[in-house]
């Protein structure tokens, strides 16, 4: 019988990047935070499902706070200390994520809202009752 080969994994290379861009994608169901360098190469990311939140708990501001902390700490390991923030979407986690990024020690240089606004696009979903 053949011997199972052990996988050799390379250690992650620490990049030394001072400035980054935090992309916060906040929907009514989830929040995703991605931190990239200025060229768009991803340094770290996090989402509610990746941190173990399930169902309706994924859309809470607390989940967004934890997501931003996890992504921010991953970026700080790569040397990032100042970020530009791009917020997209109408979800409840947008403000909590921005405050959390500032709270862990990252300097926020600018906040930009890149939410796509339709010029009378598709019909919106029906309003929730109750």
Q: How far, in Å, are 6, 91, 124 from residue 119 at the CA level?
A: 55, 20, 13
The model's confidence at residue 128, banded by pLDDT at 50, 70 and 90, is confident
CA separation (Å) from 11 to 41, 108, 111?
18, 30, 34
Residue 43: give its domain's CATH number: 3.30.420.80
Q: Is residue 73 part of a domain?
A: yes
Residue 81 domain-assigned (yes or no): yes
62 phi and psi angles, rounded to 5 deg: -65, -40
Which pLDDT score is estimated for 36?
94
Better pLDDT: 15 or 91: 91
- Tell me the residue range of the domain where 105 lies: 19-113
Domain membership flag for residue 100: yes
| Confidence class for position 2, pLDDT limits 50, 70, 90 | low
Q: What is the mean pLDDT of residues 84-109?
A: 93
How much is the average pLDDT of 99-120? 93
Percentage of the chain modeled with pLDDT above 90? 76
Residues 35 and 74: beta-carbon distance below 8 Å: yes
**Does any domain span residue 105?**
yes
What pLDDT shows up at residue 17? 80
Number of domains composing the chain: 1
pLDDT tens per residue, range 57-86: 999 999 999 999 999 999 999 999 999 999
Instruction: Quote the pTM value.
Output: 0.82
Residue 121 lies in a domain: no
pLDDT recorded at residue 18: 84
Any domain includes 122: no
Task: Please check whether residue 99 lies inside any domain of the structure.
Answer: yes
Q: Note the pLDDT of residue 125.
A: 87
Q: Is 85 among the domain residues?
A: yes
């Amino acid at each position: 019988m053949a011997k199972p080969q052990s996988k050799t994994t390379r250690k992650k290379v620490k990049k030394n990047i001072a400035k980054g861009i935090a992309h916060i994608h906040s929907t009514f169901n989830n929040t995703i935070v991605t931190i990239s360098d200025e060229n768009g190469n991803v340094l770290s990311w996090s989402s509610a499902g990746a941190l173990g939140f399930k169902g309706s708990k994924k859309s809470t501001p607390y989940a967004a706070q934890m997501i931003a902390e996890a992504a921010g700490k991953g970026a700080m390991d790569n040397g990032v200390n100042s970020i530009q923030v791009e917020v997209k979407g109408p979800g409840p986690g947008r403000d909590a994520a921005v405050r959390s990024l500032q709270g862990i020690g990252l300097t926020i240089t600018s906040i930009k809202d890149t939410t796509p606004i339709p010029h009378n696009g598709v019909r919106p979903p029906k309003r929730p009752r109750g």
